[in-house]
Amino acid sequence: MKINIVYIFVFLSAMGLVTACTQDGMTDNTPLPEGSCPLGLNVSIADNGVATRATPDGTWKGDGTESVTVGVSFDPLTKPTPYRYTVIDADGSMTSENPYYWQNTYDNLFVWAWYPYAESLTSVGGNDDQSTEAGFQAADRLCSDINVVLYANRQYDIELYHITAKVVVNLVREGIMADGREAIVTLGDARNPIYLYGSMYFLSFAPSIGDFSGFSADTDGETGFVKPLKVNAAGEYAATYQALLIPQEIGGKKFIAVTIDGVTCYYTPPAGTYLEGGKCYTYNVTVDTSGEVTVGSIEPGEWGNGGSYDLTAQ
Q: Are residues 295 and 170 in contact, defined by beta-carbon separation less than 8 angstroms?
A: no
| CA trace torsion 210, 211, 216, 218 (10° rounding) | -100
Strand bridging mode 165-172 / 147-150: unpaired
214 domain-assigned:
no
- In this structure, are 14 and 149 located in the same domain? yes
- In this structure, are 273 and 181 located in the same domain? yes
289: alpha, beta or left? (left if phi > 0; alpha if psi -120 to 50)? alpha
CATH number of the domain residue 179 falls in: 2.60.40
- In this structure, are 169 and 118 located in the same domain? no
- In this structure, are 126 and 175 located in the same domain? no
Selected residue with higher pLDDT from 28 and 297:
28
Q: How many CA atoms lie within 13 A of 119 on its CB side?
A: 0
pLDDT, mean of residues 297-309:
51
Q: CA-CA distance, 7 to 220, in Å (whole number)?
A: 19
23 domain-assigned:
yes
Q: What is the pLDDT of residues 206-250, one digit of tens each?
A: 444 444 456 888 888 899 999 999 999 888 899 999 999 999 999
Q: Tell me, what amino acid is at 48? A: N
4 domain-assigned:
no
- In this structure, are 103 and 180 located in the same domain? no
Residue 296 pLDDT grade (very low, low, confident, very high; cuts 50, 70, 90): low
- In this structure, are 241 and 100 located in the same domain? no
Q: CA-CA distance, 301 to 166, in Å (whole number)?
A: 10
150 domain-assigned:
yes
- In this structure, are 123 and 69 located in the same domain? yes
Q: Are residues 196 and 189 in contact, defined by beta-carbon separation less than 8 angstroms?
A: no
CA 287 to chain centre: 31
Residue 253, domain extent: 165-189+225-302
Selected residue with higher pLDDT from 50 and 265:
265
Q: State the chain's mean pLDDT as an integer.
A: 78
Q: CA-CA distance, 81 to 187, in Å (whole number)?
A: 36
- In this structure, are 27 and 44 located in the same domain? yes
Selected residue with higher pLDDT from 21 and 212:
21
282 domain-assigned:
yes
- In this structure, are 42 and 124 located in the same domain? yes
Identify the pLDDT of residue 234. 84
Number of domains in the chain: 2
Strand bridging mode 108-115 / 147-150: antiparallel
Closest C-alpha to 222, from 100, 91, 124: 124
Reported for 202-208, long-range contacts at CB under 8 A and 24+ positions apart, including other chains, are 202/6, 202/7, 203/6, 205/76, 205/77, 206/76, 206/77, 207/4, 207/6, 207/76, 207/146, 208/4
Degrees, nearest 5: CA angle 144-146-148: 130
Closest C-alpha to 45, from 66, 64, 65, 73: 66
Confidence check: pLDDT of 258 > 80:
yes
- In this structure, are 170 and 285 located in the same domain? yes
Confidence check: pLDDT of 170 > 60:
yes
CATH number of the domain residue 41 falls in: 2.60.40.2620
- In this structure, are 174 and 115 located in the same domain? no
pTM of the model: 0.79
Closest C-alpha to 145, from 223, 44, 235: 44
51 domain-assigned:
yes
Q: What is the pLDDT of residues 60-75, one digit of tens each?
A: 888 999 999 998 988 7
Give the range with max mean pLDDT: 18-32, 35-49, 259-273: 259-273
Give percent of the chain above pLDDT 90: 31
Residue 100 pLDDT grade (very low, low, confident, very high; cuts 50, 70, 90): very high
CA-CA distances (angstroms) from residue 310 to 189, 255, 269, 275, 299?
Answer: 19, 12, 8, 15, 11
| CA trace torsion 274, 275, 278, 283 (10° rounding) | 120
Identify the pLDDT of residue 32. 87
pLDDT, mean of residues 272-282:
88
195 domain-assigned:
no
210 domain-assigned:
no
Residue 310 pLDDT grade (very low, low, confident, very high; cuts 50, 70, 90): very low
- In this structure, are 74 and 14 located in the same domain? yes
CA-CA distances (angstroms) from residue 245 to 127, 262, 268, 305?
Answer: 9, 26, 17, 16
